Structure 1
Amino acid sequence: MFAKGDKVAVLDDDLNGIVLSIKNDEVTIETDEGFVMTYFVKQLLKINISSNLMDSIKSINVDKIIKEKTIPTPRSFTKERKEKHEISAPEFDLHIEKLVSNKRGMSNYDILTLQSETAKRHIEFAIRNRIPKIVFIHGVGEGVLKAELDFLLGRYDNIAFQEGNYQKYGQGATEVFIKQSSK
């Protein structure tokens, strides 16, 4: 790779020099400032001082450059399969920014109360209108809203709930299933 007399640059330092000797994977160089130093082969880069353009072009690995420039194909994600007639479940975002235009002046208690009441209103609506499934988006955060939502949902006999679809919502959603009673 290196030969005595080659001009080299040190990769991690701002040093250039000439190869004096090579022993195994160690190369001794004399820097441009006149110091004699020893480096490993992987720490040095050969500098092409040839003014011949054809020599420079021959050293270029075109295949490697083309491989680096190709755009990687995006990963494919499996989508949720739905029947053609299936209607997606209504989603309700309980983030406070989605419920009020300005939350200034609201305490954490006020915010949590508004979010809980909104969730309760949507649950009651779904039960009255026989909607079989709804999704609450509550976010991850510290888990206070999720705990409040779990407590609220646990008070209903005809409701089952679970974590939302991770691929679609991450960890920040709860799916609610309403068991329909025959009337």
Structure 2
Amino acid sequence: MRFKIGDTVAVLDDVIKGEVVAIKNNKICIESTDGFEFDFNENELVLIKENQAELSKYSDLKNEDLLEKIHETSPKKHTPKFKSTIKQDQIPPMEVDLHINQLIDSTRGMDKIDILTLQMDTAKQKLEFAIRNRFPKIIFIHGVGEGVLKTELEYLFKKYQVDWYAASFKKYGLGATEVYIYQNTKK
């Protein structure tokens, strides 16, 4: 078994995330973030080593602030004096996961309108951040669901100088939209 009690896991083909609470008869029982217990086979789960919030905690900082923050937190080592050879078009696009369980810990007391409003506010904030900081592309992971969030995102995109299309099916499945941001546009 590669999982142990207390591990944080996510279900591969669903938006369920939780903590391993028991292992019995080759089944792994997890308690979801909503408090429900589910049994899964080992091959249906993936171990989460770091929370997405931890991975993207610097995403709202400006580039200079980010470099300064990384420099402060990284151990003092001899840094090589060379310039990166990565070209602008080789930089991977910024990804924003709009699944509600990635944005907040609990949806208790929220109805569907509250959830959609939070997701749209996050999308608008991240899109404007990408425009301000001259990111060429941004990917919004919205999931498949009933298509309400995807439709609302398209209304949002129409307000900006951007093009959007389905993101890589191989990487994201049907639940993501890639946005290309036009730079230096005259209004």
Match of 2:61? none
TM-aligned CA deviation for residue 84 of structure 1: 5.7
1:98 aligns with 2:120: no
The CA RMSD over aligned residues, in Å, is 1.7
Report the Cα offset of residue 155 of structure 1: 1.5
User: May I ask how many residue pairs the two structures share in their alignment?
Assistant: 100
SS of the residue 1:131 aligns to: coil
Q: Tell me, yes or no, if structure 1 residue 163 matches structure 2 residue 185.
A: no
| Separation (CA, whole Å) in 1 of partners of 2:117 and 2:133 | 24
Q: Does 1:138 align with 2:135?
A: no
Higher-Rg member (1/2)? 1
Which residue of 151, 155, 161 corresponds with 1:151? 155
The runs of 4+ residues in structure 1 deviating greater than 3 Å are none
Deviations 1:107-150 (A, max 9, x none): 10000000000000001101111111000000000001000101
Question: One-letter code of the match for 1:115?
Answer: Q
For 2:94 and 2:182, the matched residues in 1 are separated by 16
Normalising by the residue count of structure 2, what TM-score does the alignment of the two structures yield?
0.51
Question: Per-residue deviation at 1:88?
Answer: 0.6
Aligned 1:106-121 pairs, distance under 5 A:
106-121=110-125
The answer to whether residue 127 in structure 2 is matched with residue 123 in structure 1 is yes
Instruction: Write the letter of the residue equivalent to 1:112.
Output: L
Offset at residue 182 of structure 1 (A): 6.6
Q: Deviation per CA, 1:16-37: give whole Å up to 9, x if none.
A: xxxxxxxxxxxxxxxxxxxxxx
Unmatched tracts of structure 2, length 5 or more: 1-84
Aligned to 1:87: 91
Query: What is the CA–CA distance in structure 2 between the aligned matches of 1:105 and 1:182, rounded to whole Å?
Result: 42
Unaligned runs of 5+ in 1: 1-82
The within-5 A match list for 1:17-36 is none
1:87: Cα distance to partner?
1.2
Query: For the residues of structure 2 that align with 1:113 and 1:126, how far apart are their CA atoms?
Result: 20
Query: Paired residue for 2:184?
Result: 181
TM-score by length of 1: 0.52
Q: In 2, Cα distance between the equivalents of 1:121 and 1:110?
A: 16
Q: Distance in 1 between matches of 2:159 and 2:111?
A: 26
